Structure 1
Amino acid sequence: MNSLIVKSVLFAMALLIHQFAAAKSNLDLLKVPAGFKIELFESDVPNARTMVLGTNGTLFVGTRSEGVVYAIKHNKRYIIAEDLNMPNGLAFRDKALYIGAVDKLFRMDDIEARLDNPPIPTLIRDDLPSETHHGWRYMDFGPDGRLYMAIGAPCNVCLKKDYAVIRSMKADGTDERVEARGIRNTVGFTWHPVSKKLWLSDNGRDMMGDDIPPDEINRVDEFQEHFGFPYCHGGTIADPEFNDLSCRAFTPPIQALGAHVAPLGIAFYTGKQFPKAYKNRLFVAEHGSWNRSKKSGYKVMMATITGSDEDEKVTKYEPFVTGWLQGQKAWGRPAYVLVLKDGSILISDDRAGAIYRVSYAQ
């Protein structure tokens, strides 16, 4: 038994070393538009996913498979919480880091001053939906000060109460309500910097073929707006099983994406370092397909949005960073995008266990 444990540990260590080496050795494969530069920001962040910034510039990084939350400050990496159940959800407010881990919501007070000796996370709630299928949370504080949280459908396609929604609550976990419905699995949302409307990514259902249904970018215009799941996919495709309601009853996506590209994190560009044309463009991390016969996604895309309020529309959707997919082999998977205070952006990669920084050479 001991020899098996040793072999397992050695295998895990070898796998991690291989992942870290992949980010360094393959960095030159990543391509960005002319004038931009991509570099390795951090190479030792296994399963790096969600990223949020603290008030004092600390970068907090959530994970799905590692069960830990990292903090990065002055080129030093800390593990500030561990043994959690898929702590993908992170949000920061009033010197406190909030952590969403499936059915539990935690808070770590004054965490930036306690990185060397982090406190045990304070449990706020332990009664959130407990299904682990699509149970990795995404959450953020909205312009209204409420904490928004995604509750993914616990299945490929099904109709189950309390799931496939975005909820919001007060920071203390009370006064919970549903903000939007019919959303199969969103693990990325944000608010438009001008209109303040909620935009979100959504991963479409599987097992309908290589090319349908499309994944989606949606915009919430009304309270408890319904985006179709499980009845309608991509705004026009009726589900073969749940088809008793017309697609006309639901809100179509503001941008249909490729099937199975798996959009995760999205972020509007609000910095000043990039050229002016990039202002308020939407970056989308396409994590990449897992069951398509020919792989798709594995890139960071960029949406150009024109108009205002009800007239907002996506007029262009194009690649911004490519190269994680070489032929049919993917050495990395972009997960989330974060705009830094200096105007550069960070991109997390949960396969290579790395974080990249994209800057513009002014």
Structure 2
Amino acid sequence: MRAWFSLLLVVLSLPAAAAPPLDRLSLPKGFHVALYSGQVPDARELALGTGGTVFVGSSGAGKVYALTDSNGDGVADRVRVVASGLRDPIGVAFHDGDLYVSAVSRILRLRDIERHLDAPPTPEPVTDKLPTEGHHGGKFLAFGPDGKLYVPIGAPCNICDPAPDHGKLIRMNADGSGWEDVALGIRNTVGFDWQPGSRRLWFTDNGRDLMGDDVPSDELNEIRRTGQHFGYPYCHQGDVPDPEFGRGRHCQDYTPPVLKLGAHVASLGMRFYTGRQFPASYRGAILIAEHGSWNRTKKSGYRVMTVRLDGSKVRSYEPLITGFEQNERAWGRPVDVQPLPDGSVLVSDDLAGAVYRVTYRP
């Protein structure tokens, strides 16, 4: 009893995790950011259930979280773990009441999850046939307007020729059947969404490393037809041949990006904003979480950006949130963005282990 009591005292005396320093963040006039939850270690992709539950994948934690805001005050008052012991379950997608979770070579399904948050069901395999490599093995997930599950298969390297099993985006039926290649020549996409109106799929792609501080750029791409090739590993950012794999190739043979996002910014989660809370200029714009560079002389990224479009043409590319990195030191790394029904937007941060909520009040 005495030993147990001593241990309890030690636990109670441990300092609480420091709250993220949100006062360091900068947003356009009228925008505000607040902590939605600070209890989500390694927070990665976000998905929204029909009952309002926010599901969050994770990286090193190996867990999937369910966040609930029971009183509607814009702050999650409960965080549950609905799956654990998984390998890099960064991807989560909600479909027909079920939660789909990526785990490198596997995709799992938790049935009727919002009715069983306190006693989650055992994850059922949808497929276990995906590649097993851990390098770029984490997978962002999303269901398209066609009801199919879209799954990226990243290159298992910084630079190599991984075709035909890697470096692409595929789709499958919700039960794991009917695999089909959607797009090729993709190094590693960790964010994609469908444009309202055109219903075309747009995605971010991370450029290769070890070609210098400023080349190549990350990419924002639009898929106009099934089977398009976006250049990797032969051509980067639409106009830079790879020094090794680009020999004998021509960049004009591949689809160039719609927008160069900047070198090493690590562009990850992206969504089209269709809400009504933000100013009208944000409707139909793309919000992109840029995780931030790891090997650049001077850091880049560490921000959330807004891309305004006119159809498929970029009108502007400007910050929504900056300040996660200051004086070459980062305290936060944004990973994903998720609009909510009220028009606010959630942002996940795996470094701070948090999810933030961005609102607009003029």
Shift of 1:315: 1.5
TM-score, structure 1 length as denominator? 0.93
Return 5+ residue gaps in structure 2 as ranges: 1-9, 71-76
Aligned equivalent of 1:6: none
**In structure 2, how many angstroms separate the alpha carbons of the residues matched to 1:124 and 1:274?**
37
Shift of 1:222: 1.1
Q: Which amino acid aligns with 1:182?
A: G
Shift of 1:194: 1.4
Aligned equivalent of 1:190: 193
Q: Deviations over 1:245-268 (max 9, x none)?
A: 110100000000110000000011
**In structure 1, how many angstroms separate the alpha carbons of the residues matched to 2:356 and 2:50?**
21
Q: Which amino acid aligns with 1:252?
A: P
Q: Deviations over 1:1-52 (max 9, x none)?
A: xxxxxxxxx9xx98xx78x4151xx110011110111111111110111000
* Secondary structure of 1:258's aligned partner: strand
**Mapping of residues 106-125 of structure 1, within 5 Å:** 106-125=108-127
- Is the contact between residue 161 and residue 233 of structure 2 (CA under 8 Å) also seen in structure 1? yes
Q: Deviations over 1:267-294 (max 9, x none)?
A: 1111011111110111111100000011
Aligned equivalent of 1:7: none
Q: Deviations over 1:328-351 (max 9, x none)?
A: 000000000000000000000000
Q: Pick the aligned partner of 1:180 from 180, 183, 195.
A: 183
**In structure 2, how many angstroms separate the alpha carbons of the residues matched to 1:275 and 1:328?**
32
Aligned equivalent of 1:3: none
Overall identity of the aligned pairs, in %: 51
* Secondary structure of 1:248's aligned partner: helix
Shift of 1:139: 1.2
**In structure 1, how many angstroms separate the alpha carbons of the residues matched to 2:187 and 2:212?**
17
State whether structure 2 residue 137 is matched by structure 1 residue 130: no
State whether structure 2 residue 24 is matched by structure 1 residue 29: yes
Superposed CA RMSD: 1.4
Q: Which amino acid aligns with 1:208?
A: M
Q: Deviations over 1:182-215 (max 9, x none)?
A: 0001000000011110000000000000000011
- List 4+ stretches of structure 1 deviating above 4 A: none
Q: Deviations over 1:84-135 (max 9, x none)?
A: 0000111111110011110011110111011111111011211111111000
Return 5+ residue gaps in structure 1 as ranges: 1-9
Q: Which has the higher helix share?
A: 1
Q: Which amino acid aligns with 1:273?
A: Q
Q: Which amino acid aligns with 2:90?
A: N
**In structure 2, how many angstroms separate the alpha carbons of the residues matched to 1:78 and 1:22?**
19
TM-score, structure 2 length as denominator? 0.93
State whether structure 2 residue 266 is matched by structure 1 residue 262: yes
**In structure 2, how many angstroms separate the alpha carbons of the residues matched to 1:327 and 1:283?**
25
From the superposition, tell whether residues 192 and 357 of structure 1 become closer, same or farther in structure 2 (CA, over 3 Å). same
- Is the contact between residue 44 and residue 91 of structure 2 (CA under 8 Å) also seen in structure 1? no
**In structure 2, how many angstroms separate the alpha carbons of the residues matched to 1:263 and 1:303?**
12
Aligned equivalent of 2:313: 313
Aligned equivalent of 1:66: 61
**Mapping of residues 318-357 of structure 1, within 5 Å:** 318-357=318-357
**In structure 1, how many angstroms separate the alpha carbons of the residues matched to 2:337 and 2:217?**
21
Q: Deviations over 1:129-156 (max 9, x none)?
A: 1111000001100011110001100000
Shift of 1:234: 0.3
* Secondary structure of 2:277's aligned partner: coil
Number of aligned residues: 342
**In structure 1, how many angstroms separate the alpha carbons of the residues matched to 2:279 and 2:264?**
31
**Mapping of residues 163-312 of structure 1, within 5 Å:** 163-243=166-246, 244-306=248-310, 308=311, 312=312
**In structure 2, how many angstroms separate the alpha carbons of the residues matched to 1:29 and 1:262?**
21
Aligned equivalent of 2:160: 158
